[in-house]
């Protein structure tokens, strides 16, 4: 509880954080001073959300691909989360790039599951974040990632339309288009920004309110610079969605390194959180100057086959 509340007590400059995704356990917890976690967030102007999926399960008949669990009983759980103060939800699907991957079966199964989740959430008054993450593991190039991202997002929104999801009441949380972590052909932020925006233009309906990118194992600085490049991209520049961030590792790494689980380090951890949050706030406006340093700023945060 102390780790969850220490950063929240900080004063967030520039309204840098608008929401916070909690696990079910945390949603119902109190901070060390007895304040409910939901109230702690709300008092800072941060909207509480909730992770509602139950993790990944093997998709048998494929080459080590997965589908996400958790649809059973989801409506009842969403009702409970809404009553506890959550206003939005998130569900993570995972796809992989490789020989014969992602398969059409994996794309379609995960698209339909995401659409069903989104429809159930909306029936209970929660805004769904739709998260079809394409892992950065592998040797694939920027162009290969772009093509796969377009296939996955197109299938996801076809399924959302089929399931009558109210797109104006939803958010998308995708990967940025990047080369695989083991690819020797690296890409600049400008190349990543262009490829990402073009992939979105080709597959995401303008009715979707906003796109909040995951960091996907990028370093803190890379995730911020790439978000900045996405927002600076202007050719042809058709971007009808708000393009922002929903980072885990790339927002928390320097914070955890500064904190180290010690009460006396809480002020230093809060400073790191404010710095990184404000850097990403600037990047979401296309105004990041690259002048924010952190305890883990350039450290790789890549975890192979990342699960949580």
Residue with token string 């209970």 = 124
Annotated catalytic, 173?
yes
- Residue 14: CB atoms within 10 A of its CB come to 11
Report the half-sphere exposure of 12 (CA within 13 A, side-chain side). Answer: 23
User: Which run of H or E residues covers position 244?
Assistant: strand 242-245
Measured CA to CA, the distance from residue 144 to residue 178 in angstroms comes to: 9
- CB count within 10 Å of CB 157 equals 24
Give the three-state DSSP class for 206.
Answer: coil
Three-class SS state of 56? strand
Tokens standing for residue 231: 């927002």
Quickly list H helices, the chain: 2-6, 24-27, 37-43, 74-84, 104-123, 142-162, 189-201, 220-232, 249-259, 266-283
Task: State the angle between helix axes of 142-162 and 104-123 in degrees (0 to 180), rounded to the nearest 10.
Answer: 50
Count CB atoms within 10 A of the CB of residue 290: 13
90, 173, 274, 275: which is the annotated catalytic residue?
173
Angle at 283 between CA 277 and CA 285, to 5 degrees: 115
Residue 194 near residue 152, CB atoms below 8 Å: no
Active site residues: 173
């Amino acid at each position: 509880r102390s780790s969850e509340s220490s950063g929240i007590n900080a004063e967030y400059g520039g309204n840098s954080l608008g929401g916070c995704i909690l696990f079910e356990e945390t949603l119902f917890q109190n901070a060390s001073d007895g304040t409910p976690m939901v109230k702690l967030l709300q008092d800072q102007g941060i909207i509480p959300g909730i992770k509602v999926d139950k993790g990944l399960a093997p998709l048998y008949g494929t080459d080590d691909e997965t589908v996400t669990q958790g649809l059973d009983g989801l409506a009842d759980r969403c009702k409970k989360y809404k009553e506890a103060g959550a206003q939005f939800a998130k569900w993570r699907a995972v796809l992989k790039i490789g020989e014969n991957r992602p398969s059409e079966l994996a794309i379609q199964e995960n698209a339909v599951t995401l659409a069903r989740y989104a429809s159930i959430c909306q029936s209970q008054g929660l805004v769904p974040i739709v998260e079809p993450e394409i892992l950065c593991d592998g040797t694939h190039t920027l162009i290969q990632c772009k093509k796969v991202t377009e296939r996955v997002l197109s299938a996801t929104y076809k399924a959302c339309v089929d399931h009558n999801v109210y797109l104006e009441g939803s958010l998308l949380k995708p990967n940025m288009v990047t080369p695989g972590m083991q690819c020797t052909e690296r890409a600049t932020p400008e190349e990543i920004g262009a490829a990402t925006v073009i992939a979105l233009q080709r597959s995401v309906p303008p009715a979707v309110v906003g796109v909040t990118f995951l960091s996907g194992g990028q370093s803190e600085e890379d995730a911020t610079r790439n978000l900045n490049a996405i927002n600076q991209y202007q050719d042809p520049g058709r971007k009808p969605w708000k393009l922002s961030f929903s980072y885990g590792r790339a927002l928390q790494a320097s914070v955890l390194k500064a904190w180290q689980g010690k009460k006396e380090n809480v002020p230093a951890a809060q400073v790191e959180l404010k710095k990184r949050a404000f850097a990403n706030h600037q990047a979401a406006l296309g105004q990041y100057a690259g002048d924010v340093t952190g305890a883990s700023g350039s450290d790789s945060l890549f975890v192979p086959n990342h699960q949580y």
